[in-house]
Amino acid sequence: MYDHINQVCSLIRARSALVPRVGMILGSGLAALADELDEAVVFPYAELPGFHEPKVPGHRGELALGLLAGQPVAVLRGRFHFYEGYGMPEVTFPVRVLRALGCETLLVTNAAGGLHATWQVGDIMLITDHIFMPGLAGHTPLLGPNDDRLGPRFPGMVGAYQSEWVPLAHAAAAGLGFTLREGVYLMVAGPSFESGAELRAFRLWGADAVGMSTAPEVVVARHAGMRVLGFSLITNLALPDGPPANHAEVLDAGEAAKPRFAALIREVLRRGAFVEGF
């Protein structure tokens, strides 16, 4: 994998001299934020060995390098998923590439179902922790021999999401006139949405939102020594007695919330430029 990562980075560096500081993963319906990059250089996933073209609507399948809110960034416009048949090392390979390109921080986003009846579609949740259900069942991107050049054998996940940046994220939201939710993100394998009994169990376990991505990317980011900041866009309410979720609803909610969500990410990046270690 180490050599494969360097091969992909060589292809990218042949077209862009930018050294990104922040890597970003934009989830369902959120990829349009990357259209705002200045001096952008775009790489379709099809041109990058080891990257797969997403088959899920709302995921473009492009890596873009450029400047956003003054920060040099590398943006993954969409992701490919475990439920599409890819192994966890494949799903997280783009994070390895982001790290090798120079990214020290991973800003990860997703669309998620809110597990609270008092929440609303369009809310944005700052991720404070996660429950990685497939990982607990053995589907982890770190399975197999460890390459010490990529990270330690046993990386810790306590404090995986940068708690010292919580005030920064809340201040960014407040400056834009809204309040962030906070909570624990639980990842399921998908692609089926959850049963009522599962949703009740997730609440008992302390989860606040549920989705089908993100946790393996964060595991690899932490394995590689990256700092992590994560946001979930609540695109539906995942309630045991509520209406069943559907993907069209997810995309519609992402489209409606796009201006506010994009403004939040820009403001977080702007404020992060003045924070040591961001």
Q: Could you tell me the residue ranges of all domains in the chain?
A: 2-272
Q: Residue 28 annotated as binding?
A: yes
Q: Residue 170 annotated as binding?
A: no
Which helix (H) or strand (E) covers residue 227, if one does? Answer: strand 227-237
Q: Residue 236 annotated as binding?
A: yes
Q: Residue 47 annotated as binding?
A: no
The pLDDT value recorded for residue 57 is 60
Q: Residue 270 annotated as binding?
A: no
The DSSP annotation for the chain comes to -HHHHHHHHHHHHTT-----SEEEEE-TT-GGGGGG-EEEEEEEGGGSTT-----STT---EEEEEEETTEEEEEEES---GGGT--HHHHHHHHHHHHHHT--EEEEEEEEEE--TT--TT-EEEEEEEEEHHHHTT--TT-SS--TTT--SS---TT-S-GGGHHHHHHHHHHTT---EEEEEEE---SSPPPHHHHHHHHHTT-SEEESSSHHHHHHHHHTT-EEEEEEEEEEE--TTSPPP-HHHHHHHHHHHHHHHHHHHHHHHHHHTTSTT-
Instruction: Mark whether 81 is an active-site residue.
Output: yes
Q: Which CATH architecture has domain 2-272?
A: 3-Layer(aba) Sandwich (3.40)
Query: Can you give the pTM of this predicted structure?
Result: 0.93
Q: How confident is the model at residue 205 (pLDDT cuts 50, 70, 90)?
A: very high
Over 90: is that where the pLDDT of 132 sits?
yes
Structure tokens at 156: 């810790």
Structure tokens at 118: 């008092």
Instruction: Mark whether 192 is an active-site residue.
Output: no
Identify which has the larger pLDDT, 45 or 36: 45
Q: How confident is the model at residue 50 (pLDDT cuts 50, 70, 90)?
A: very high
Q: Residue 116 annotated as binding?
A: no
Instruction: Mark whether 256 is an active-site residue.
Output: no
- Catalytic, out of 36, 245, 247, 255: 247
Mean per-residue pLDDT, 169-175: 95
- Catalytic, out of 172, 236, 238, 267: 236
The pLDDT value recorded for residue 135 is 97
Instruction: Mark whether 212 is an active-site residue.
Output: yes
- Catalytic, out of 52, 81, 130, 223: 81
Instruction: Mark whether 46 is an active-site residue.
Output: no
Mean per-residue pLDDT, 201-227: 97
- The rounded distance, in Å, linking the Cα atoms of 246 and 27 is 16
- Catalytic, out of 34, 88, 111, 112: 111
The pLDDT value recorded for residue 28 is 64
- The rounded distance, in Å, linking the Cα atoms of 20 and 66 is 8
- Catalytic, out of 209, 212, 221, 262: 212
The pLDDT value recorded for residue 82 is 94
Q: Could you check whether the bond before residue 44 is cis, i.e. omega within 30 degrees of 0?
A: no
Q: Residue 253 annotated as binding?
A: no
Instruction: Mark whether 116 is an active-site residue.
Output: no
Instruction: Mark whether 213 is an active-site residue.
Output: yes
Instruction: Mark whether 83 is an active-site residue.
Output: yes
- Integer CA distances (angstroms), 140 to 5, 170, 215, 221, in order: 19, 31, 10, 13
- Catalytic, out of 213, 224, 253, 267: 213
